[in-house]
């Protein structure tokens, strides 16, 4: 924990993203992977397989990964060898990701907020504004011309930090307001993906399950009521097996991987 705290203090990151929790979460994921790498391994392999399947039978000009993060779930070498250009998009990039691509001439990092509202939510709350919360406003931008776009386990993450910031510091917003805010962010990302001209691959959790061994204690909808196609590869990600959270609790994500989202929607 001390190492994570020190890294949080020294990590280059814009102040709004730091205070809203983006940097802290990325550092926590990196540390949790080190502790739980055996439990995570099947999940990461499933993600890479779905992305590999998505890259078949399409032009191999440009691939874009949204929510590239630490690149743990991305078959980066395979994408680099298959596509002429690979663009890794995230709201900020960790040193480990920069190091990973250092010798890959056709891979680049793109810093972008694919919701278009992190700064707006930061300002809205800091200035104690009332009224409707900012809407998501991102457009396709750098990935509009991609042959393959991968939404890499980011769909359910997009609302977390804006809504957490509103919950912690916002004034006058109830639980229903915040859940509706989160739902708009999820819907916006799905609409954005569906409108892209190239192939779209979606990796996402569809349910969070808190367990005591085989006993389900609580189920949480990370999509806030939004729906995704029922097709695709299904698996369980043991993201926090005991004693990661407590000695009696396991956190599991029920995952869906869809190699061709638009085909699944049709």
- What CATH number is given to the structural domain containing 112? 3.40.50
**Whether 165 contacts 122, CB under 8 Å:** yes
d(CA 242, CA 228): 29
What residue has token string 């000009």? Answer: 61
Distance of CA 166 to the CA centre of its chain: 19
Interval 3-57: pLDDT, tens: 554 454 456 678 888 889 888 888 899 999 999 999 999 999 999 999 999 999 9
Instruction: Pick the range with the lowest mean pLDDT from 37-41, 146-150, 213-217.
Output: 213-217
% of the chain residues with pLDDT over 70: 95
Q: In which domain, by residue range, is 237 found?
A: 2-265
At residue 5, the pLDDT reads: 46
pTM: 0.93
How many domains is the chain partitioned into structurally?
Answer: 1
CB-based burial of residue 55 (10 Å sphere; 0-12 exposed, 13-18 middle, 19+ buried)?
buried
């Amino acid at each position: 924990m001390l190492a994570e705290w020190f890294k949080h203090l020294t990590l280059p990151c814009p102040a709004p993203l730091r205070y809203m929790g983006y940097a802290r979460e990325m550092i926590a994921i990196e540390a949790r992977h080190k502790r739980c790498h055996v439990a995570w391994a099947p999940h990461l392999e499933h993600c890479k397989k779905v992305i590999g399947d998505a890259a078949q039978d399409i032009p191999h000009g440009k691939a874009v990964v949204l929510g590239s993060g630490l690149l743990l779930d991305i078959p980066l070498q395979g994408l680099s060898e298959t596509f002429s250009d690979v663009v890794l998009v995230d709201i900020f990039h960790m040193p480990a990701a920069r190091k990973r691509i250092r010798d890959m001439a056709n891979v680049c990092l793109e810093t972008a907020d694919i919701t278009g509202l992190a700064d707006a939510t930061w300002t809205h709350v800091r200035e104690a504004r009332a009224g409707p919360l900012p809407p998501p406003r991102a457009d396709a931008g750098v990935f509009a011309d991609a042959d393959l776009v991968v939404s890499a386990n980011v769909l359910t993450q997009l609302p977390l930090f804006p809504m957490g910031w509103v919950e912690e510091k916002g004034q006058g917003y109830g639980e229903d307001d915040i859940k509706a805010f989160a739902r708009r962010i999820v819907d916006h990302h799905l609409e954005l993906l569906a409108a892209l001209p190239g192939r779209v691959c979606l990796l996402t959790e569809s349910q969070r399950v808190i367990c005591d061994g085989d006993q389900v204690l609580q189920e949480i909808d990370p999509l806030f009521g939004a729906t995704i196609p029922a097709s695709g590869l299904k698996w369980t990600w043991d993201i926090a097996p005991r004693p990661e959270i407590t000695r009696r609790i396991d956190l599991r994500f029920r995952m869906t991987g869809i190699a061709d989202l638009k085909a699944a929607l049709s």
